[in-house]
Amino acid sequence: MYEPQQTPAERGEVYYTAFGGYDRNPVIPETSFYDETNLSADGFPLLQPRPKRAFFSVAGDDLHGLVSKKKLCYVLNGRLFYGGVEVAGVNLPPVSRPRRFVSMGAKLVIFPDKVYVNTADLSDFGPLEAAVTTASGSTVTLTPCSVDGEPLQNCATAAAEPTDPADGALWIDTSRSPAVLRCYSSALSIWEELVETYVRLSCPGVGVPFREGDGVTLAGVTADPDLNGAHVLVARGDDYLVVAGLTPGTVSQTGAVTVSRTVPELDFVCESGNRLWGCCSTRNEIYASKLGDPTNWNCYAGLATDSYAVTVGTDGDFTGAVPFRGYILFFKENCVHKVYGANPPYTVLTSYLRGVQKGSERSLVVLNELLFYKSPTGVCCYEGGVPTDVSAALGRQRYTDAVAGTLGDKLYLCVSDAAGVRTLFTYDTVRGVWHREDHVDVREFCTHNGNLFFIAADGDTLRLGTVDSEHMVGSFTAALAGWTTEEDVPWSAETGMWGLGLPQQKYYSQISLRLIGERGARVSVACEYDSSGVWQTVKTWRAETTGTVTLPFACPRCDHLRLRLSGTGRVRLLGVAATVEKGSRTCMT
Q: What's the rounded mean pLDDT across residues 382-409?
A: 96
The mean pLDDT of the chain is: 92
Tell me the pLDDT tens digit for each residue of 214-255. 999 999 999 999 999 999 999 999 999 999 999 988 999 999
Tell me the pLDDT tens digit for each residue of 445-498. 999 999 999 999 999 999 999 999 988 988 887 888 889 999 889 999 999 998
299 C-beta neighbours (distance < 10 Å), count? 24
Q: What's the rounded mean pLDDT across residues 386-395?
A: 96
> For residue 531, how far is the Cα from the chain centroid?
43
At 12, is the pLDDT very low, low, confident or very high (cuts 50, 70, 90)?
confident
Q: What is the pLDDT of residue 136?
A: 84
The residue extents of the domains of the chain are 4-50+490-588, 69-127, 131-261, 264-485
Q: What is the pLDDT of residue 100?
A: 95
At residue 586, does pLDDT exceed 60?
Answer: no
Q: Are 452 and 445 in contact (CB under 8 A)?
A: yes
Q: Are 421 and 439 in contact (CB under 8 A)?
A: yes
Q: What is the pLDDT of residue 206?
A: 96
pLDDT: which is higher, 288 or 554: 288
Tell me the pLDDT tens digit for each residue of 504-515. 666 778 888 999
Q: What is the pLDDT of residue 510?
A: 87
Distances (CA, A) of 317 to 11, 159, 178, 206, 331: 62, 54, 42, 39, 9
Superfamily of domain 4-50+490-588: Galactose-binding lectin (2.60.120.430)
Q: What is the pLDDT of residue 6?
A: 53
Tell me the pLDDT tens digit for each residue of 22-40. 999 999 999 999 999 999 9
HEC letters along 385-431: CCCEECCHHHCCCCCEEEEEEEECCEEEEEEECCCCCEEEEEEECCC
Biggest distance spanned by C-alpha atoms of the chain: 146
Q: What is the pLDDT of residue 587?
A: 43
Q: What is the pLDDT of residue 544?
A: 84
- At 244 the three-state DSSP class reads strand
Q: Are 295 and 263 in contact (CB under 8 A)?
A: yes
Instruction: Determine the Cα–Cα distance for residues 157 and 179; give it in Å rounded to an integer.
Output: 10
Q: What is the pLDDT of residue 4?
A: 55
- Strand 347-352 versus strand 365-367 pairing type: unpaired
Q: What's the rounded mean pLDDT across residues 155-184?
A: 92
At 551, is the pLDDT very low, low, confident or very high (cuts 50, 70, 90)?
confident
What single letter denotes the amino acid at residue 301?
A
At 114, is the pLDDT very low, low, confident or very high (cuts 50, 70, 90)?
very high
Tell me the pLDDT tens digit for each residue of 273-312. 999 999 999 999 999 999 999 999 999 999 999 999 999 9
Q: Percent of the chain scored above 90 by pLDDT? A: 80
Q: Are 268 and 286 in contact (CB under 8 A)?
A: no
264-485: what fold? Methylamine Dehydrogenase; Chain H (2.130.10)
At 584, is the pLDDT very low, low, confident or very high (cuts 50, 70, 90)?
low
Contacts of 534 (CB under 8 A, 6+ apart): 528
Tell me the pLDDT tens digit for each residue of 64-95. 999 999 999 999 999 999 999 999 999 999 98
What Rg value do the Cα atoms of the chain yield, rounded?
35
